[in-house]
């Protein structure tokens, strides 16, 4: 009996030990599973855990295309602390690039009158100094003529102005400065032609946008002018699209695209250097029609007016555009400092593409304001815009009265 009892004792003891070992092993396995779950990285909101490898977190972009929304920030992860879990500090999303809203260009030329007055001081101040001397002999009138011709007014216009002033002085018998200033303002305004239509095509025509083609020689600031014109039109609540048809200058399309992006205006361009400019212009007008914008502005490559092949190419650009839309405006960009050479450029471009308006740039650093009168007489088309500085909003619609007042005030 003793032997049997001893055997059962060992059996029971062994069973207890075995049960204990099994329980300990089970607890150990459950503990390891909880540990693995605690240190595993949390899944991103909106994606199941098994998709993490296939959908890695997207870093916030430094810049966004105009008109696109910023990506939504990911849900903040939880960080374990001594007191439990707490949300991690959220990472601030990258700021969206601001789209500028230019002020209206109406009356801008008057606001820039002081700068314009400095530009043309040799015309106004020089003439007033001569005309108010008290005695105007032939030598004094010759000096008046020289002053006007040196300002690029042109021989014909100079002769008209001097004859009108001489008649007034002779009839009235006075050289009082205030009186002479009034005469000079009146006669200059007549030469500048306030009756010319200086409106720029900027509204839809039927079911298509207005199309503006911008041309000119190298170095006149043509691409910059296109960018500034886009700002002027955006300020007037126009929807604008730009066409980068200057495919010869490597940086031209990038430059134009940057100008457009600043005011939320898209640019149609070619990804290939040296692409056919007529094809780019065609695509831009087509996109403008499809997107129902108000205005499409086409920038073209600068070209020398005496290069027949390049001028023929400009004519091709015009013809290709006209296969799907009329061209409502052809703006010729001229450097105000080029004088008579600029007039020759204007004549050749007008013959090639039927110029409808002039943009005079660099009028801020010159006393050659007479070019306004000369180029209008040469082409019979108005000066519509003037560049008075390098700032983004220094392009102003031309106002004849403000221009003349800046000269004589």
Q: Which of 365, 386, 234 is nearest to 295 (CA)?
A: 234
Q: Burial level of 139, CB count in 10 A (0-12/13-18/19+)? A: exposed
CB 304, CB 289: distance < 8 Å: no
323 is in an annotated binding site: no
CB 274, CB 249: distance < 8 Å: no
218 is in an annotated binding site: yes
Tokens standing for 312? 């023929």
53 is in an annotated binding site: no
185 is in an annotated binding site: no
Rounded CA-CA distance 298/317 in Å is 10
**Length reported for the chain:** 409
C-alpha torsion sign, points 147, 151, 155, 158: negative
159 is in an annotated binding site: no
CB 198, CB 356: distance < 8 Å: no
Tokens standing for 384? 């519509």
176 is in an annotated binding site: no
Please name the residue that has the structure tokens 């779950």. 37
146 is in an annotated binding site: no
223 is in an annotated binding site: yes
CB 263, CB 238: distance < 8 Å: no
300 is in an annotated binding site: yes
Per-residue CA distances from 356 to 150, 197, 232, 396 (Å): 27, 10, 18, 17
261 is in an annotated binding site: no
Neighbours of 310 (CB within 10 A): 16
CB 280, CB 244: distance < 8 Å: yes
Please name the residue that has the structure tokens 């087509």. 286
384 is in an annotated binding site: no
Please name the residue that has the structure tokens 């209206």. 104
CB 353, CB 104: distance < 8 Å: no
Tokens standing for 24? 């300990």
273 is in an annotated binding site: no
Q: Which of 376, 351, 371 is nearest to 361 (CA)?
A: 371
107 is in an annotated binding site: no
CB 148, CB 364: distance < 8 Å: no
Helix (H, G, I), strand (E, B) or coil at 276: coil
219 is in an annotated binding site: yes
CA dihedral 38, 44, 47, 53 (to 10 degrees): -80
204 is in an annotated binding site: no
389 is in an annotated binding site: no
Which residues share a beta bridge with 329? 212
302 is in an annotated binding site: yes
- Residues annotated in a binding site for GTP: 216-223, 299-303, 361-364
- Residues annotated in a binding site: 216-223, 299-303, 361-364
């Amino acid at each position: 009996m003793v032997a049997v009892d001893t055997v059962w004792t060992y059996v029971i003891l062994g069973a207890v030990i075995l049960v204990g070992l099994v329980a300990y092993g089970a607890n150990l396995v459950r503990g390891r599973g909880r540990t693995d779950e605690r240190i595993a990285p949390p899944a991103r909101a909106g994606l199941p855990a098994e998709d993490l490898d296939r959908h890695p977190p997207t870093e916030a972009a430094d810049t966004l295309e105009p008109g696109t929304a910023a990506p939504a920030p990911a849900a903040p992860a939880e960080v374990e602390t001594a007191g439990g879990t707490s949300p991690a500090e959220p990472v601030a999303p990258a700021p969206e690039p601001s789209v500028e809203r230019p002020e209206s260009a109406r009356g801008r030329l008057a606001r820039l009158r002081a700068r314009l007055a400095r530009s043309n001081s040799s015309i106004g101040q020089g003439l007033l100094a001569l005309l108010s001397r008290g005695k105007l002999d032939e030598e004094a009138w010759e000096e008046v003529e020289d002053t006007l011709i040196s300002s690029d007014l042109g021989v014909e216009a100079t002769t008209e102005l001097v004859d009108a002033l001489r008649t007034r002085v002779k009839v009235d018998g006075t050289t009082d400065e205030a009186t002479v200033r009034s005469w000079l303002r009146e006669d200059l305004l007549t030469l500048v032609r306030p009756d010319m239509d200086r409106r720029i095509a900027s509204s839809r025509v039927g079911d298509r946008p207005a199309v503006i083609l911008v041309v000119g020689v190298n170095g006149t600031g043509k691409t910059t002018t296109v960018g500034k014109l886009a700002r002027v039109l955006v300020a007037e609540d126009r929807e604008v699209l730009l066409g980068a048809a200057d495919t010869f200058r490597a940086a031209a399309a990038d430059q134009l695209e940057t100008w457009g992006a600043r005011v939320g205006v898209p640019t149609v361009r070619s990804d290939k250097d040296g692409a056919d400019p007529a094809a780019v212009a065609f695509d831009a007008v087509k996109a403008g029609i499809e997107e129902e914008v108000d205005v499409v502005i086409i920038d073209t490559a600068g070209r020398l007016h005496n290069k027949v092949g390049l001028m023929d190419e400009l004519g091709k650009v015009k013809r290709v555009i006209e296969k799907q839309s009329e061209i409502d405006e052809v703006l010729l960009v001229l450097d105000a400092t080029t004088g008579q050479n600029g007039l020759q450029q204007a004549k050749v471009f007008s013959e090639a593409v039927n110029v409808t308006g002039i943009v005079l740039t660099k009028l801020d650093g010159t006393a050659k304001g007479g070019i306004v009168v000369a180029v209008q007489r040469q082409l019979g088309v108005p000066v519509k815009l003037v560049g008075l500085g390098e700032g983004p909003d220094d392009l102003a619609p031309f106002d004849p009265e403000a221009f003349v007042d800046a000269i004589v005030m």
